[in-house]
Amino acid sequence: MENRRNIIMDGDPGIDDAVALCLAAAHPEAFHLLAFTTVTGNQTIDKVTENARRLVEFYGLDIPVAKGSVVPILRKIETASDIHGKNGMGNVELPKPVKPLASENGVLFLYETIKSLPEGEKVTLVPTGPLTNIALLFRVFPEVKERVDEIVLMGGAAFGGNVTPTGEFNIYEDPEAAAIVFDSGLPIVMCGLDATNLCGIDREHTAKLMGENGAVCRAVGQMVQFYLESVVYKDKPYASIHDAVTFMYLLHPEIFKAVKMPVSVDCSENKNRGMTVCDIRDWNYDTEPSTTVLMDADSVKFQEYLVEAVYTLDRRLGK
């Protein structure tokens, strides 16, 4: 299919990573998924890699999974097991994977996968976790940037954070890596908290998914329900599915408000560690910024399209 994007997803599944991959798998007409590389974040590298392998096969995808960075570039690991559960997927147990791991070196695997693309083709990178793998890729193999069309990432915020008052989890986990990526000069779409906090699945739809016969619907419903019972969402009407905003933006950019602006990352040890500093002073730009920041979203349309995708994949797989 000529209009399909070549996609490599790089993530740390993670409930919202799991739902994001479901959205991508439901749209083979739009996405040519090449691979999934993992990175330490929501859980340790072994757990998120196992999750990625299980999810790929559960969603009927025939793509390789490679194990990525074990630790951030400079920082200590700080997982989010209180939000994502002991196994990282809301303690939902999917069938064990059959296919072996493609590689134990995710950064080298990324390079080889991108360089093996047919001449003239490029890839869209979709990182939904800390940016450690992508930063190392650009540092070790800078020539690979010529084959990257754009980066559509979940992370950061123009205003506010969720780990600290100014730091969003993915950026806070490895701010040095984020700084390398934002300074790469490549086109970036930053799907940050300004938009992703508005994009979720509510309790009514979650209950309906859990009550379905299909395995995909039930699994997604159970994962989101775990989210809803967490300290972050227990008093809220819906759970934000942050990572799914990346693929939703690629499918339906019209439901988002996007603004181009320069973005830098605070790598200090002070209270603003991990802050994405977004310069909204459009009169102060010498050149057009390379980063597009999502600032708003249509919550109703997001949920409609996302839930529809879950049902679509469920029916297609017939589990």
Give the separation between CA 274 and CA 269, rounded to whole angstroms.
Answer: 9
Report the C-alpha gap between 229 and 183 in whole angstroms: 38
Phi, psi of 211 (to 5 degrees): -90, 0
Give the separation between CA 87 and CA 55, rounded to whole angstroms.
13
Contacts of 151 by beta carbon, 8 Å cutoff, 6+ apart: 124, 125, 126, 127, 134, 181, 184, 186, 187, 188, 189
Residue 82: the pLDDT is 76
Q: For 295-310, what is each residue's pLDDT tens digit?
A: 999 999 999 999 999 9
Does residue 242 have an active-site annotation?
A: yes
Percentage of the residues of the chain whose pLDDT score is greater than 90: 91
Residue type, 180: I
214 has a pLDDT exceeding 80 = yes
Supply the pLDDT for residue 284. Answer: 80
User: Of residues 27, 32, 242, 252, which has the active-site annotation?
Assistant: 242
Quick check: 1 pLDDT over 70?
Answer: no
Q: For the residues 38-62, what does the mean pLDDT come to?
A: 96
What value does the mean pLDDT of the chain take?
Answer: 96
- For the residues 253-270, what does the mean pLDDT come to? 96
77 burial via Cβ count (<10 Å: 0-12, 13-18, 19+): middle
Contact 128, 102 (CB under 8 A): no
Per residue in 137-179, pLDDT (tens digit) is 999 999 999 999 999 999 999 999 999 999 999 999 999 999 9
> What are 153's two structure tokens?
């990432």
**What residue has token string 């969603």?**
59
Looking only at the bridges linking them, the beta strands covering 148-154 and 188-191 are: parallel
**Model confidence band, residue 2 (pLDDT cutoffs 50, 70, 90):** low
Whether the Cβ atoms of residue 130 and residue 41 lie closer than 8 Å to each other: yes
Q: Is the pLDDT of residue 76 over 90?
A: no
Across the range 224-232, mean pLDDT stands at 94
Residue 113 has phi, psi (to 5 degrees) of -65, -45
